[in-house]
Amino acid sequence: MNTQLKCKKAEIQDLHKIIELLADDELGRKRERLEDPLPESYIKAFNAIQGDPNNELILAVLAEEIVGVLQITFTPYLTYQGGWRATIEGVRTNKFLRGKGIGTQMIEWAIHLAKERGAHVVQLTTDKQRPEALEFYKRLGFRASHEGLKLHLG
């Protein structure tokens, strides 16, 4: 990928493009509401993320265009002697630019942030309906060391 790719923290004016990226696949179309204006729930969530020092929305920007997004959350644990973990979620890249190194650079940037914050582990999940994402994360060194479960509450 061109070295002009930049990673930066998201701002409120980026929210519509973020939701557009999240909604731009089969799974995302089922759960996101890409409308104009956006539903208030997105604005509330964005403001909560921005107001929490343990959460960051990271954008990949190429030639002034947002081409990727991820969220990283830092969580303190009592395990590992009170260690911190970094959890990466909501990773999306522009579908026309996949395979160009954007996702790799975003994940590497998130890992760098995790190291800076003193996290002892970086963890993430990916939907089983996205086997290509699982292979992508494995190529970056992530290992399926745990079995994850989710309970949707509504």
**Residue 29 — very low, low, confident or very high, per pLDDT cuts 50/70/90?**
confident
Per-residue model confidence (pLDDT) at position 3? 56
Taken as a whole, the chain contains a residue count of 154
pLDDT greater than 90 at residue 94: yes
Q: Count CB-CB contacts under 10 A for residue 82.
A: 9
pLDDT greater than 80 at residue 68: yes
Note the pLDDT tens digit of each residue in 4-16.
Answer: 899 999 999 999 9
pLDDT greater than 60 at residue 2: no
Q: Any idea where the domains of the chain sit in the sequence?
A: 6-139
Please state the rounded mean pLDDT for residues 111-139: 94
Domain 6-139 superfamily per CATH: Gcn5-related N-acetyltransferase (GNAT) (3.40.630.30)
